[in-house]
Amino acid sequence: MKVPVVKEAAALGTALYAGVGAGLYGSIKEAVDRLVQWETTFTPNMENHLLYLEIYETWRKVYAEQLKLADLGVTTHMWKAPGY
């Protein structure tokens, strides 16, 4: 994952397209290559990923059981849709 220096991505994208439209850059790719700077880059930690997969599987089982208990009225649902 790359973190850009400019955090206002919508504003930056608009400015880049404006630059293309005004003829300052021949394409959006050229504008991006010339102007977008990266603050930092993160790479996935595969050991953590494997641990998270295990935790996620446990969570899925617990959540499924929680839903059953809530439907029976033993516990309450973790969220409710608006109007209910």
Give this prediction's pTM.
0.54
Q: Is the pLDDT of residue 81 over 90?
A: no
Range of the domain at 50: 44-84
Residues 36 and 72 in one domain: no
Residue 84: what pLDDT? 66
pLDDT mean over 56-70: 94
Residues 37 and 67 in one domain: no
Q: Which of 12, 16, 33, 14 is nearest to 24 (CA)?
A: 16
The number of helix segments (H) and strand segments (E) in the chain equals 3, 2
Residues 77 and 59 in one domain: yes
Residue 82: what pLDDT? 76
Residues 33 and 50 in one domain: no
pLDDT mean over 25-53: 96
Q: How many domains does the chain have?
A: 2
